[in-house]
């Protein structure tokens, strides 16, 4: 290996730049490789964007920066690439073009940083013979193969800070404040930020909720003198027997999501308890900003481990945290299923033991 390229795909997460920095520094210092950055994920390779050489000098200062200096996109799966021909949308397999482009540029190997979607694409390229290593990324922390993904700690820190702030205003006004947080189909962000932020109710996709149980918790608190409550709702939460309101924006044939489950829960609480309710949707605040120290360290370790994995010929693998070690697993295994909260696990039990209602 002489030349490697690095790309970031899918939604961003705080710590991406720390991984890039780790790859560049370790690639140059340990192996004397030249490292190139691909703009906008796989899309950049499909459209033949110019790759920029990354050096210790031009990446200076990126460690504390949120987002990705390389850019990213949710579009541009080379295996199902949407092109417009004669005014019509057609889906084309552009993967051979990507392989050809990498050959022309004499890129020997790739580091692909992404969530399950991007890593799935990486796996297909690996099966086509592209030498690559994956780095798991998502604020949702829903990848089974790794104890933690970078970005998650920053997301729950942001959500916890929001909960602290919402507490003071909820208490002053004797209100119920519902805060909707991200997490897709998993409740990690809601559960962990809810515990850290002293929530009274936490609703997660893994435990369908009973709104009457939620309301009796709030009414009980009122009677005991706590005339305010904080309810954390994961965007994927759903009532018992009901539908999940949350859906991915880019799912074909489905309407984009408008308003979330937070509003539905807020309205029902207002109706049943008669209390004054406000709803906050935290949204992309959870994805932005400077990574926490934890995420910077994890991201740096992932970057270094990805470079080592390439050097050791562990292509088609993904780096992961198996506390306290960084290890590698085949990408194919890693993207198979999502990591969900165990409804009867220690974390949920601890929350319930201190009186937090999970709505069941
Ligand atoms: O997967 C990360 C995530 O932030 C989810 O928590 C959220 O549902 C989704 O991405 C939002 O995606 P977009 O940025 O496309 O709105």
Residue 74 beta carbon below 6 angstroms from any ligand 1 atom = yes
DSSP state of 244: -
| CA dihedral for 296, 6, 13, 122, sign (positive or negative) | negative
156-176: average pLDDT: 98
How far apart, in whole angstroms, are the C-alpha atoms of residue 319 and residue 332? 12
- State the average pLDDT for the chain: 95
What was the pLDDT predicted at 335?
A: 84
* Rg value, the chain, Cα: 22
DSSP state of 151: T
Give the CA distances from residue 149 to residues 28, 116, 216, 221, 320, in Å, rounded to whole numbers and listed in that order.
Answer: 25, 12, 36, 36, 8
Question: Does the pLDDT at position 253 exceed 70?
Answer: no
Residue 234 beta carbon below 6 angstroms from any ligand 1 atom = no
Task: Catalogue the E-assigned strands of the chain.
Answer: 3-8, 34-37, 52-54, 81-85, 88-92, 109-114, 132-136, 176-181, 201-203, 229-234, 277-281, 317-322, 325-330
Q: Which residue has the higher pLDDT, 334 or 223?
A: 223
Residue 287 beta carbon below 6 angstroms from any ligand 1 atom = yes
Q: Which residue has the higher pLDDT, 29 or 256?
A: 29
The alpha carbon of 183 and the centre of ligand 1 are apart by a number of angstroms equal to 7
How far apart, in whole angstroms, are the C-alpha atoms of residue 243 and residue 72? 31
Mutate to test the pocket of ligand 1, among 76, 120, 140, 191 (most ligand atoms within 8 A of CB): 140
How far apart, in whole angstroms, are the C-alpha atoms of residue 329 and residue 143? 12
Dump pLDDT digits (tens) for 96-115.
999 999 999 999 999 999 99
Nearest atom in ligand 1 to the alpha carbon of residue 142 is: 1
- Reading the block at residue 172, the tokens are 């002053």
The alpha carbon of 79 and the centre of ligand 1 are apart by a number of angstroms equal to 22
What was the pLDDT predicted at 246?
A: 74
Residue 175 beta carbon below 6 angstroms from any ligand 1 atom = no
DSSP state of 150: B
The answer to whether the CB of 127 falls within 8 A of the CB of 104 is: no
The alpha carbon of 272 and the centre of ligand 1 are apart by a number of angstroms equal to 31
**Active centre residues (catalytic):** 140
Residue 256 beta carbon below 6 angstroms from any ligand 1 atom = no
The alpha carbon of 2 and the centre of ligand 1 are apart by a number of angstroms equal to 35
Question: Of the ranges 53-62, 141-150, 251-260, which one carries the lowest mean pLDDT score?
Answer: 251-260
Mutate to test the pocket of ligand 1, among 184, 193, 234, 284 (most ligand atoms within 8 A of CB): 184
The alpha carbon of 176 and the centre of ligand 1 are apart by a number of angstroms equal to 26
115-133: average pLDDT: 95
The alpha carbon of 10 and the centre of ligand 1 are apart by a number of angstroms equal to 9
Q: Which residues contact 138 (CB under 8 A, 6 or more apart)?
A: 10, 11, 13, 115, 116, 149, 151, 152
Nearest atom in ligand 1 to the alpha carbon of residue 184 is: 8
Dump pLDDT digits (tens) for 24-64.
999 999 999 999 999 999 999 999 999 999 999 999 999 99
Residue with tokens 């930020």: 193
75-104: average pLDDT: 93
- Residue 296 binned pLDDT confidence (cut-offs 50, 70, 90): very high
Residue 269 beta carbon below 6 angstroms from any ligand 1 atom = no
Question: Does the pLDDT at position 257 exceed 60?
Answer: no
The answer to whether the CB of 152 falls within 8 A of the CB of 169 is: no
DSSP state of 257: P
Question: Does the pLDDT at position 337 exceed 90?
Answer: no
DSSP 230-241: EEEEETT--BTT
Residue 138 beta carbon below 6 angstroms from any ligand 1 atom = yes
How far apart, in whole angstroms, are the C-alpha atoms of residue 242 and residue 261? 11
β-bridge mates for residue 279, sequence order? 178
The answer to whether the CB of 165 falls within 8 A of the CB of 152 is: no
Residue 139 beta carbon below 6 angstroms from any ligand 1 atom = yes
- Residue 259 binned pLDDT confidence (cut-offs 50, 70, 90): low
Residue 262's nearest CA partner among 245, 274, 248 is 245
Q: Which ranges in 130-207 belong to alpha helices (H)?
A: 152-173, 188-196
Question: Does the pLDDT at position 248 exceed 70?
Answer: no
């Amino acid at each position: 290996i002489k030349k490697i390229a690095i790309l970031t795909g899918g939604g961003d997460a705080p710590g991406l730049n720390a991984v890039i920095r780790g790859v560049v520094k370790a690639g140059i210092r340990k192996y004397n490789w030249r490292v190139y950055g691909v703009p906008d994920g796989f899309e950049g390779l499909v459209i033949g964007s110019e790759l920029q050489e990354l050096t210790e000098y031009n990446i200076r200062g990126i460690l504390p920066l949120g987002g990705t200096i390389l850019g990213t996109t949710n579009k541009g799966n080379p295996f199902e690439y949407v092109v417009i021909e004669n005014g019509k949308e057609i889906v084309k397999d552009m993967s051979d073009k990507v392989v050809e482009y990498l050959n022309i540029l004499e890129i020997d190997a790739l580091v692909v940083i992404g969530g399950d979607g991007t890593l799935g694409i990486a796996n297909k390229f690996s099966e086509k013979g592209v030498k690559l290593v994956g780095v798991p990324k998502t604020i949702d922390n829903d990848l089974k193969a790794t104890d933690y993904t970078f970005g998650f700690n920053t997301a729950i820190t942001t959500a916890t800070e929001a909960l602290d702030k919402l507490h003071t205003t909820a208490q002053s006004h004797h209100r119920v404040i519902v805060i909707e947080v991200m997490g897709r189909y998993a409740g990690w962000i809601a559960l962990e930020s809810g515990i850290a932020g002293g929530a009274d109710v936490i609703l997660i996709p893994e435990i369908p909720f009973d709104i009457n149980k939620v309301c009796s918790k709030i009414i009980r608190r009122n009677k005991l003198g706590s005339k305010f409550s904080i309810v954390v709702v994961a965007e994927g939460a759903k009532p018992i027997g009901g539908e999940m309101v949350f859906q991915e924006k880019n799912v074909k044939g489905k309407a984009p999501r408008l308003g979330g489950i937070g509003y539905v829960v807020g309205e029902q609480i207002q109706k049943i308890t008669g209390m004054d309710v406000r709803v906050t949707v935290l949204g992309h605040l959870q994805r932005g900003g400077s990574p926490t120290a934890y995420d910077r360290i994890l991201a740096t370790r992932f970057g270094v481990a990805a470079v080592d994995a390439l050097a050791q010929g562990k292509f088609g693998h993904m780096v992961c945290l198996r506390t306290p070690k960084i290890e590698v697993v085949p990408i194919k295994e890693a993207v198979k299923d999502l990591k969900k909260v165990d409804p009867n696990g220690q974390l949920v039990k601890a929350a319930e033991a201190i009186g937090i209602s999970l709505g069941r």
